[in-house]
Amino acid sequence: MIDVFDDTYFMRKALQEAEEAFERNEIPVGAVVVIDNRIIARAHNLTETLNDVTAHAEMQAITAAANFLGGKYLKGCTLYVTLEPCQMCAGALYWSQIDRIVYGAKDEHRGCGVMGTKLHPKTKMQGGVLQEEAADLMKRFFIQKRNLN
Per-residue pLDDT reduced to its tens digit, 39-61: 999 999 999 999 999 999 999 99
Cβ(31)–Cβ(10) under 8 Å? no
Three-state SS for 68-116 is HHCCCCCCCEEEEEEECCEHHHHHHHHHHCCCEEEEEECCCCCEHHHHC
Annotated ligand binding at 112? The verdict is no
Annotated ligand binding at 89? The verdict is yes
pLDDT bucket at 1, cuts 50 / 70 / 90: very low
Other Cβ atoms closer than 10 A to 38: 9
Residue 50 parent element (H or E): helix 47-50
**With pLDDT > 70 as the criterion, what percentage of the chain qualifies?**
97
Give the whole-angstrom CA distance, residue 110 versus residue 62. 20
Q: What angle do CA 77, 107, 38 make, to 5 degrees?
A: 20
Lowest mean pLDDT among 38-42, 100-104, 140-144: 140-144
| Whole-number pLDDT of residue 149 | 59
Query: Domains of the chain (ranges plus CATH)?
Result: 7-130 (3.40.140.10)
Give the whole-angstrom CA distance, residue 100 versus residue 86. 16
Residues tagged active-site: 58
Annotated ligand binding at 120? The verdict is no
